[in-house]
Amino acid sequence: MGSPRVHRTTGTSLEVLEAVTTIDGGTLSELSDHTGLATSTLYTHLQTLVESEYVVRRGDEYEPGLKQFHLGEQARHRDDRYTLAREAATELATRV
């Protein structure tokens, strides 16, 4: 069986989401420069991300939304490395 098909539109939205996060927010022009996407294409993807609360718009700037934080928190709590590090930090704190 071959590799799963990647939907281009989904990939573009994820690229836009990563760009917003990487540059810690920016205007449509700044994000267009960063991604190389036309502003019309970028705007459509940003509107979808805003409606889904992955991105927030403040004036002319698009910034990472809290939904990303919540997803990251869920992933972090399922990661054994986090649990081990937290236990080790707690143990060290009790020694001090």
Instruction: Give tens-digit pLDDT for 31-67.
Output: 999 999 999 999 999 999 999 999 999 999 999 999 9
Using CA atoms, how far apart are residues 13 and 42, in angstroms rounded to an integer? 8
- If you write DSSP's letter for every residue of 51-68 in order, what string do you get? HTTSEEEETTEEEE-HHH
The whole-angstrom distance between residue 5's C-alpha and the CA centroid of its chain comes to: 22
Evaluate if residue 92 carries a pLDDT over 60.
yes
DSSP 3-state assignment of 27?
Answer: strand
Evaluate if residue 20 carries a pLDDT over 90.
yes
Evaluate if residue 3 carries a pLDDT over 70.
no
Lowest mean pLDDT across 8-12, 40-44, 45-49, 92-96: 92-96
| 68 Cβ contact partners less than 8 Å away, ≥ 6 residues apart | 17, 21, 54
pLDDT reported for residue 1: 45
Residue 57 CB coordination number (10 Å): 15
pLDDT band at 89 (very low <50, low <70, confident <90, very high): confident
- In 3D space, the residue among 29, 15, 37 whose CA is nearest the CA of residue 62 turns out to be 29
